[in-house]
Amino acid sequence: MSLTTSVPTNTSVAPDAAALAPARPRARRRVGSIVVRVLLPLAVFGVIIGAWYAVSELVLNPQQRFMLPPPHEVLKVGVLDGQNFSDMMSALGTTCKVTFAGLGISIVLGVSAAVLMSQAKWIENSLYPWAVVLQTLPVLALTPVFSFFWGFALTPRVIVCVIISFFPIVSNTLFGLQSAERSMHDLFTLHRAGRLTRLWKLLLPAALPMMFAGFRVAAGLSVIGAIVGEYYFKQGDPGLGTNLSVFTSRLEGERLWATVLTASLLGVAVFVFFGWLSRRVVGRWYQSNRS
């Protein structure tokens, strides 16, 4: 009897309690995540700008100030000046072209090489060491060789970009392809799945999270690769790297720093894009899989 009478009161209380109880910590967590994700980076940004001013105004004397002009000068001369801005945008366009060409080629070659290596141990053993060697090549020391074969314009820039961004794609993709568990392989073995089926339905989907992690690292590196390439191969359309070298030689500190920051923003943008793409493609099963 007492049980049946207690049930209605319980159920009438329960919805309110259920609605309130989890809501509070969740709201607190949301506020907490705004603080962590927005305010803290902004605070660090403030510290960096402050330190920049300090170095520029207090540490450097006026004759040295061209090395690190204060932020507002960089903004005024490097970005807000119409001619300088449009020069920089066209350089950014060129750098984007080299970056995307290099990254695209890296992804195609890197994934293909990793897929090939995943198919047989002997292929992996023969190719992988050379991927490592490619990564450790002192690219800058090779610039004369590149210009000997490919001149001084866009082609060698793209090649530098590929060499710099290739390795993380190969190694991550290969690692990802090898990450499928033995018991999952057993499922495919039991049903006599062919190589292609196994690759398409097991290895590649299992590799996707690692592949995207590799693409993300490679994306950042490909921007660096493009800029390093432009720094040395100056024929053809000037890119951000070309301008860096020009502004350095002319001691134009404001435009130099504006270009450095633009280059880094480009790197961040490509990095963020691949993070977004990765969440779109594998986020539904991968992120939540880890938590």
* Residue placing its CB nearer to other proteins in the complex, 201 or 250: 201
- Pattern 122-161, other proteins, x by CB under 8 A: ----------------------------------------
Q: Minimal distance in Å, beta carbon 183 to other proteins?
A: 4
Q: According to CB under 8 A, which residues from 174 to 203 bind other proteins?
A: 181, 183-184, 186-193, 197, 201-202
What is the rounded distance in angstroms from the CA atom of residue 187 to the CA atom of residue 178? 16
CB of 121 to other proteins, least distance (A): 16
Closest by CA to 206, choosing from 186, 230, 185, is: 185
| Between 125 and 289, CB nearer to other proteins | 289
Minimal distance, residue 291 CB to other proteins, in Å: 9
Shortest Cβ distance from residue 187 to other proteins (Å)?
A: 6
Scanning the chain, the segments in alpha helix (DSSP H) are: 2-20, 23-34, 40-53, 71-73, 82-119, 121-136, 143-150, 154-177, 182-190, 195-198, 204-232, 240-249, 253-282, 287-290
Residues within window 9-48 making contact with other proteins, judged by CB under 8 A: none
Kindly give the interhelix angle for 121-136 and 154-177, rounded to the nearest 10 degrees: 140
CB of 195 to other proteins, least distance (A): 13
Residue placing its CB nearer to other proteins in the complex, 115 or 281: 281
For 163, residues 6+ apart whose C-beta sits below 8 A from its C-beta are 134, 135, 137, 139, 225
| Residues contacting 151, CB < 8 A, separation 6+ | 233, 235
Count of residues near other proteins by CB under 8 A:
23
Upper half-sphere CA count for residue 113 (Cβ side, 13 Å): 22
**Which positions from 203 to 232 touch other proteins by CB under 8 A, shown as an x/- string?**
--xx-x------------------------
**In angstroms, rounded to a whole number, what is the distance separating the alpha carbons of residues 113 and 213?**
17
* Nearer to other proteins among residue 8 and residue 194 (C-beta): 194
Which amino acid appears at position 216 of this protein? R
Using the minimum distance from each CB to other proteins, give the nearer residue, 61 or 183.
183
As measured in angstroms, the least distance from the Cβ of 288 to other proteins is 5
The length of the chain in residues reads 291
Which residue among 200, 273, 276, 285 contacts other proteins (CB under 8 A)? 285
Ramachandran region, residue 149 (left: φ > 0; alpha: ψ -120 to 50; beta: rest): alpha
- What's the rounded Cα separation, in Å, for the pair 264 and 148? 30
Cβ nearer to other proteins, comparing 57 with 181: 181
Compare residues 84 and 172 and give the one whose CB is closer to other proteins.
172
Per CB under 8 A, residues contacting other proteins are 181, 183-184, 186-193, 197, 201-202, 205-206, 208, 282, 284-286, 288-289
